[in-house]
Structure 1
Amino acid sequence: MSRHGKVRLAKWFESFTQSEKQRIVRDMMNLVLLRDLSWSNSVDYVDAPAGQRVTALGSSDAKSSSQDATRFHTLAQREDRLVYRRYAALYIILCIDGTSLATGQTNELLALDMIHLLVESLDRYFGNVCELDLIFNFPNVYYIVDDLFMAGEFQESSREVVLRSIHASDSMAGQERDDKHKS
């Protein structure tokens, strides 16, 4: 997200409707952008909407066989935590699920480290990453994000492994980076 509240990149690991996504982005903008720079990089996000849950309801009755797979979603409210870090004109924000916080599976320091690893990887790949790199090279940025995170979980902790992976992908696709972006 930029300093002006424009979303430059979004990766969702739960299913939300478009209106729920807009609400979440608006809430994040209000929580993060209005905070003083001297405050902590972690803020509670209360009343975060839960993602859609798809459930199959089965019945042995032949009359209701057409209703075997019924979709419904719950909008149960929960308490998540936003962990963010500002780099120049951009805010990188991660939302940590409240249940993983309650069980002690995730902490804010690891989230800050993941944000920093993402920015370091982007910086090494693009040379000197800026907001325009995120806008015009978004497929490569998503590729790096997908290498670091899988299904909302941190997967890769080595910047070199991520960079080798995307460079191999670039060479297989026949894409050559110009000398400006090689570092």
Structure 2
Amino acid sequence: MIKFVLMVNRQGQTRLSRYYDPVELSRRAPLEADVVRCCLSRKKDQCSFVEYKDFRLVYRQYAALYIVVGVTDSENELSIYELVHNFVEVLDKYFSRVSELDIMFNLDRVHVILDEMIQNGIVVETNRSRILAPLTALDKMADG
């Protein structure tokens, strides 16, 4: 099961966070800081899977952004690694070459995309067209 998804930049600033396991607000900032520190301190030639406390971290770097997913021990790390890549490809398709600014100024749309892919910590959709269908419909309504 997926516990959380974080998107952070190289400076360690969180750009997106979605928790599927309840975490108190007072504990989120220290958790995110510790997770980011753990992933950013690793070298490029090291594995993208990290044991962290009672779960695993799967992370991937795209330009200046890191996407970090916290998963339980029973989750397949390679499938999550590919899920992260699929998420970025969907963002690229929607924003046509997504950037950190796209994420910052369209956070609601990024959350819609993430919610179409993952619900309650379980991957429910990977097809790009189906993931983007609700946003395409919203965009058509706004233009019409």
* 2:60 alignment partner in structure 1: 85
Which 4+ runs in 1 deviate beyond 6 A?
none
Bigger strand fraction: 2
* 2:5 alignment partner in structure 1: none
**Aligned-residue offset at 1:165:** 2.6
* 1:163 alignment partner in structure 2: 132
* 1:71 alignment partner in structure 2: none
Counterpart selection for 2:37 from 30, 43, 47: 30
Q: Look up the equivalent residue of 1:81 and give its one-letter code.
A: R
For residues 138-179 of structure 1, the C-alpha deviation after alignment (integer angstroms, 9 at most, x for no partner) is 01100000000001110101011112232012223x158xxx
- State the SS of the aligned residue for 1:8: strand
Paired with 1:146 and 1:171, the residues of 2 have a C-alpha distance of: 20
* 2:21 alignment partner in structure 1: 14
**Aligned-residue offset at 1:110:** 0.2
* 1:150 alignment partner in structure 2: 119
* Mapping of residues 101-120 of structure 1, within 5 Å: 101=74, 106-120=75-89
Q: Look up the equivalent residue of 1:93 and give its one-letter code.
A: V
Structure 1 unmatched runs, 5+: 47-78, 177-183
Percent identical residues: 34
Aligned length: 137
- State the SS of the aligned residue for 2:58: strand
Counterpart selection for 1:136 from 105, 126, 134: 105
For residues 95-154 of structure 1, the C-alpha deviation after alignment (integer angstroms, 9 at most, x for no partner) is 0023xx2xxxx2111001110110000000000100000000101100000000001110
For residues 9-56 of structure 1, the C-alpha deviation after alignment (integer angstroms, 9 at most, x for no partner) is 00011222122101210111121000011101000111xxxxxxxxxx
Q: Look up the equivalent residue of 2:78 and give its one-letter code.
A: L
RMSD (Å) for aligned C-alpha atoms: 1.2
Q: Which has the higher contact order (CA 8 A, sep 6+)?
A: 2
